[in-house]
Structure 1
Amino acid sequence: MSTNQQPSQGTEGDTPTGFLLAAGSRLRLQRAGSTKKATAEVVGYGGRGVHAYIILRSGHGEDDSALTALDLRADDTLLVRCLYDGIIYGFRTTITRLLTEPDYLLFVLYPHTVEQVSVRQYPRLPCALPCDIDLAGAAQQALMLDISAAGCGLAGQVASKDEAPAAGSPITVQLPLPGTQPPVSLTGELCRIGVEASRWEGGVRFDAEQEALFEQLRRYLSLRARH
């Protein structure tokens, strides 16, 4: 299972913010001014203070096509995000160097400012609702375990750990609800994934907040619990 390691505090003077990303941490990259996104993995870091930098490569299990599709150049500004334990860490950085041979590697500056947003600031509603999902182009059935205005938890079946969906994958959830046709369609990103035997569980961050849907489900589940 591939998961993000926890961002930590470095020793004073190591980085501009004291914010460290362990090797193996998975990040979502987006070039400023573009809507395209790709997953990258931290290879390592170097330098100190204002000269500190992070080395990135394509995310584990992915080829370089996703990163190269961003059409990156030295001096480009990147929007970088990672999720750990319900907190999204985000920052802007600049590409200082780009290597294409023998591996596609990005060298980016350590951020001077890191923003944190808790995706758990929204109340979560436990549920067990069958749904259909399209995960990176592959359709399958799943079970919605909980939902908030910002995201939901899902579970599904997988033949082996190697076939489990990857964090960072785009996802569309089709949720049938009584009196609603067609099913409610929710788009987002798979933020985390865990695999146990033939079952996977993951968290989804919606592209847009779903406050009205959350209230609709809250009323529906409350009524169902009374019967």
Structure 2
Amino acid sequence: MTQTHASATQPRSSSIPGSLYHLRPGTRLVLDAAGLGKRIPTHYIGQDRGRCFIVHMPPSATHPDVYDHTYTGNTVVVRYIKDGNVWGFVTAVQGRIAKPQRLLFLDFPTSVESHNLRQRHRVECSFPASVWLRGELMDTVITDISTGGCRISLTGSDHAVDINDEVGIESAIFLATGPGNLLTGCVRRISRSAAGTDIGIRFADVPEHVMEHIDAYVERVSELLTP
């Protein structure tokens, strides 16, 4: 992992975690090839344990520049999310093929780092959302967010809410809409004033694709605010 990203998330080293051996085909990955200057989304194909790690090669129509930086021997950082952690490793390109499918072959990693998403700091925002609270759906605004939780603001100070109440938040901007895709969690803090009610929420079981969108937003904002 590069020092730039590792220092912000308190990595802990691992040899080869079980999460790597048990990845399912289609698991979302992010590639960061040396010299490319940006991260490319793709997905996991398979592995020959100890020999190679195989991922889908993005189409040249949408990512033409990635082909200039996935030559044999070039360094690539691979990241994926599993069980509330970002796992990542540094590897090298073995080669690629275009037929019958576009595949990228990488050296099998010798070590992996993990970053606990829930340790990352919050960033301020102002996103309209809806919250399910005690069986009632209410309009709200997300006023700060991290991969571990968020704060929402409700108009009025007379809402029936207590610590540890379960909530579900719908937020289109993070693709958290529809059954099974809500930002679920529990209430950890309540602050009432004449202006309204602020509620601090700790996330529970958040779908991985929703967590990826939150993590990407937090990281972008953090990078913009970092001198």
TM-score for the superposition, normalised by structure 2: 0.50
Larger radius of gyration: 2
Structure with the higher fraction of residues in strand conformation = 1
TM-score by length of 1: 0.50
